[in-house]
Structure formats: C-alpha cells, structure tokens
Amino acid sequence: MADFRTHAAFGVGLGAAVSAVAATLGLVSGPMILVPIFFVAALGAMAPDIDSDSGVPFHVAFGALSIIAGGAVWSAQISKGTAWNEAALFGVGTAAAVWIVVGGIFKRLTTHRGMAHSLPAALLAGLSVFFVGGTLSYGEGDAFLLGTAALLGYLAHLVLDEAYAAVDFHGHRLLPSRSLGSALKLASSSWIATVTVYLGIVSLLLGNVSRLFSLTKGLWKAVV
C-alpha cells in the first residue's frame, strides 16, 4: 500500500485540482471557499489512515479534536462567567479526556485497514463534512462541494492503496499483495465498526433529507 508521504502528496495535488475545477466551472459562491475545499480534499486523502495507532493521521486528527473540544469548553465556561484559571482547567481536562479516553477507545475498536478503509466510510466522511458545513453557516452549494471534496479525497486514498497492492511501483514484487481488495470493501471483520459506520450514514441521511432533496432538485433543474 502507499505510504503517508505518497498519500499526502497525492492529496495536495487532488485538493488543488478539485479547487481549480470548482472555480473554473463557477460552482463556488466566492474565492474564499476554495481554501477549505483544498484542505478538505487533501485531508480526506489522508483520513483513512486514522486507524493506524502510531500513524501521523491519528495523532493529527485526535490532536486537533482535543484542542477544539478543550477550546470550546473553555470558551463556554468563560461565557458563563467562570474565572479564566478555572475555565482553563476545564478546557485542559476536556482536551486530555478526548486524547486519552476517546482516543484510547478508538484504538481498541479499530484495526489498520479495517472499516476506515471501506467505501461506506468514504460516504460517511462526505456526509459528515456536508453536515458540518451546514452548521458552520456555509451555503448549501458550498457545503455540498466540501462534502464532495472530502468524499473524493477519501476515495482517492482507497484507490491508491489498491493500486499499490496490485502493482509494486518499486519493482520488488511481481505478484499482487495479499492486501489487494481490502480497501474498497463494504464491511470489515469487526461487526461493531461496520454497524457503527452504517448507522452513521443512515442518521446523517435522515437528518439531512430536506437539504439533500433541495440540492437534488436544484441540480435537476440546472441539468434540464
């Protein structure tokens, strides 16, 4: 399979390409949205390796999540009138809990090239970004583009892994690797991880029915 540097380089190229296509076709509301589209596509191309306990994606993802969670709790405490030092303790405690507890649980429930390396996980990533984009006050079109960029980046990672499993680009292997076919799957050996991903997809679809319907209707009118 491809290593982290390969995925990172490919992700940067993909992010630039998706942003350029979106701008060229006039799909964006303005130039500022091109920056998050680029980063979402690039990060999506590295996201599946979050299930690698010692990998960079895991540490980056949970490090960022810990900081965001801690900052949100600190801000909420300050807004309630809590002294800044006490609020800081709440924030640090939350960040530590996310890193140690949530990260620890994630490590126990996942295995490398498990459900994170699957087509449903790619769809879940795209829907999640689309949902978050809506909560961050992006327009429906921009939120859809962000979700699509995440989906394309995630799929690119899976396809690249399959390509490296089928062909040794360094010339050291003549036959396909045993990992061939393990990235573009629909389920993993862990039923808990599999069910969790599918439940996430269903819940996000049900929670965004009206938004998705409106987008589909708009696209249909544009095409017809």
Query: From the centroid of its chain, how far is CA 158?
Result: 13
210 belongs to a structural domain: yes
Lowest mean pLDDT among 83-97, 100-114, 163-177: 163-177
Cβ atoms of 158 and 122 closer than 8 Å: yes
Could you write out the DSSP letters of every residue in 156-186? HHHHHHHHHHH--TTS--SS--TTTTSSS-S
Q: For position 136, what pLDDT does the model report?
A: 73
123 versus 215: which is more confidently predicted?
123
Q: For position 117, what pLDDT does the model report?
A: 87
70 belongs to a structural domain: no
Q: What is the DSSP letter of 101?
A: I
The parent domain of residue 124 ranges over 4-52+112-223
Q: Give mean pLDDT, residues 43-66.
A: 76
Nearest to 46 by CA among 4, 14, 2: 4
209 belongs to a structural domain: yes
In this structure, what token pair is assigned to residue 158?
A: 């899976």
**pLDDT exceeds cutoff 80 at 82:** yes
97 belongs to a structural domain: no
Query: From the centroid of its chain, how far is CA 63?
Result: 15
Number of domains observed in the structure of the chain: 1
9 belongs to a structural domain: yes
Rounded CA-CA distance 63/168 in Å is: 33
217 versus 211: which is more confidently predicted?
211
> Which positions ≥6 away from 133 have C-beta within 8 Å?
142, 143, 144, 146, 147
Q: Is 76 exposed, middle or buried (0-12, 13-18, 19+ CB in 10 A)?
A: middle
Query: From the centroid of its chain, how far is CA 88?
Result: 29
**pLDDT exceeds cutoff 60 at 57:** yes
Mean pLDDT of the chain: 82
**pLDDT exceeds cutoff 70 at 179:** no
208 versus 54: which is more confidently predicted?
208
Task: Give the CB-side neighbour count of residue 73, counting CA atoms within 13 A.
Answer: 19
119-178 pLDDT tens trace: 999 999 999 889 888 777 788 888 899 999 999 999 999 998 888 776 655 555 555 555
Query: Binning pLDDT at 50, 70 and 90, where does residue 1 land?
Result: low
121 belongs to a structural domain: yes
Q: For position 209, what pLDDT does the model report?
A: 85
Q: For position 53, what pLDDT does the model report?
A: 55
61 versus 161: which is more confidently predicted?
161
Sign of the alpha-carbon torsion through 74, 80, 102, 58: negative
60 belongs to a structural domain: no
160 belongs to a structural domain: yes
Rounded CA-CA distance 213/222 in Å is: 14
**pLDDT exceeds cutoff 90 at 202:** yes
